[in-house]
């Protein structure tokens, strides 16, 4: 099922594994079961640290879970993680063994203080480009927390649950009772959402204190997109001590599928460009503070070379002589009654991911710029009627 070149890449990726990660397949009479078995066997063939085993459980659709050191680690896939979700499977294997990019000490402490025995379902689509970010973030939370259960569900295999929760967009997060989030969300916001939804265990064992004072820098960059990355690189090349605060490296570029107007690069995609930005910034001594937001700045911002104190939402703080704001853009909301309540249940932001949920229905596209017109054209082949509002 996997081609030779991909298998060779996986051999290199899995060289980092130190302990065995087991993919445990449930029995199913579903027509797609053989495809799941074939995929997982191909993945396992690339490393002696990845094994496949069949359990005694029986499920209606293809399903497997991950075990680490002989115990389930809470990650369950219902469906076949191909398409955009193949990377989620590979990262879940790496993260299970503590490999790959994991949250830093500040976020890890917050994750471990979440209530015990939380169970979350993520409904996704293999064609959704925003889903992997949410799936992978929840998988990391699952591995770190210890008693978290995360079930990743391809909505095509669970139409009754999709109808039960009223899901009309992906990714959508649900618990036993209801859907509590729909749409993309950063790791930082996801942790806050889980804290608000499930609560924090105040009796959790206190972790070692984390140093809140991050030090002094000549320049602070707020924002981690292309502009922020450029500012950081230019600053540090001038011999200035430099820090960068960002939700995520790449910013909105992460959500851009095809990029064809970057001079000298005929074509690239958002996640690839974001990874290259990250690699370039990390090749210099820039202090990158990812999954962070500024809470307050004190000091006279009108005077250059005067020390300013920057407090972060995490409780950390630093001082700096100069601040460069490169916070970029984000998807715009209408801020009208009902909008937030109906996100994922009639309000959506991605015609590619969520368009199929509106097949045959009457749809309005708000915004007549190039993106709005392209969305309307894309939807016209799926829905019953499109109204473009400008």
The answer to whether 128 is a known catalytic residue is no
CB atoms within 10 A of CB 203: 7
Rounded Cα distance, 327 and 147, in Å: 36
Task: Give, as one character, the DSSP assignment of residue 174.
Answer: E
What is residue 262's DSSP assignment? Answer: B
Q: Compute the distance between CA of residue 54 and CA of residue 250 in angstroms, rounded to an integer.
A: 40
For 187, which DSSP code?
Answer: H
Question: Given 42, 189, 350, 378, which residue is catalytic?
Answer: 350
- Measured between alpha carbons, how far is 320 from 242 in angstroms, rounded to an integer? 9
Does 97 participate in catalysis according to the annotation? no
Question: Which of these is catalytic: 97, 154, 247, 354?
Answer: 354
Q: Report the C-alpha gap between 81 and 64 in whole angstroms.
A: 10
Choose among 144, 18, 2, 145: nearest CA to 81.
2
Is 131 a residue of the active site? Answer: no
Q: Are the beta carbons of 148 and 142 closer than 8 angstroms?
A: yes
- Listed residue (289, 199, 195, 209) closest to 249, CA to CA: 289
Residues serving a catalytic function are 350, 353-354
């Amino acid at each position: 099922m996997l081609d030779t070149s991909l298998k060779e890449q996986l051999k290199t990726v899995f060289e980092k594994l130190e302990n065995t990660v087991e993919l445990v397949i449930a029995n199913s009479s579903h027509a797609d079961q053989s495809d799941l078995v074939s995929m997982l066997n191909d993945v396992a063939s690339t490393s002696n640290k990845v094994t496949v085993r069949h359990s005694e459980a029986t499920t209606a659709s293809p399903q497997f879970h991950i075990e680490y050191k002989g115990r389930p680690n809470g990650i369950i896939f219902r469906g076949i993680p191909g398409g955009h979700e193949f990377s989620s499977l590979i990262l879940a294997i790496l993260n299970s063994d503590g490999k790959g990019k994991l949250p830093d000490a500040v976020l890890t402490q917050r994750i471990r203080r979440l209530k015990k025995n939380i169970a979350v379902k993520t409904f996704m689509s293999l064609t959704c480009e925003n889903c992997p970010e949410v799936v992978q973030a929840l998988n990391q939370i699952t591995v770190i927390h210890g008693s978290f259960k995360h079930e990743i569900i391809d909505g095509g295999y669970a139409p009754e649950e999709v109808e039960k929760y009223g899901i009309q967009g992906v990714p959508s997060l649900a618990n036993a009772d209801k859907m509590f989030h729909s749409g993309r969300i950063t790791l930082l916001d996801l942790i806050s959402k889980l804290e608000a939804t499930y609560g924090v265990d105040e009796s959790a064992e206190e972790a070692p204190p984390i140093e809140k004072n991050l030090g002094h820098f000549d320049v602070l960059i707020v924002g981690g997109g292309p502009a922020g990355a450029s500012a950081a690189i230019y600053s540090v090349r001038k011999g200035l001590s430099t820090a960068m605060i960002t939700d995520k490296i790449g910013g909105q570029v992460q959500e851009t599928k095809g990029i064809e107007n970057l001079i000298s690069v005929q074509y690239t995609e958002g996640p690839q460009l974001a990874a290259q930005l990250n690699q370039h910034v990390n090749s210099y001594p820039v202090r990158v503070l990812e999954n962070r937001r500024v809470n307050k700045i004190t000091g006279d911002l009108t005077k250059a070379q005067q020390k300013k104190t920057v407090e972060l939402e995490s409780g950390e703080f630093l001082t700096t002589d100069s601040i460069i704001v490169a916070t970029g853009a984000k998807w715009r909301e209408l801020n009208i009654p009902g909008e937030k309540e109906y996100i994922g249940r009639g309000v959506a932001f991605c015609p590619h991911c969520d368009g199929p949920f509106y097949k045959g229905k009457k749809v309005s596209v708000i915004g007549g710029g190039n993106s709005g017109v392209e969305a309307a054209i894309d939807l016209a082949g799926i829905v019953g009627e499109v109204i473009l509002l400008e």
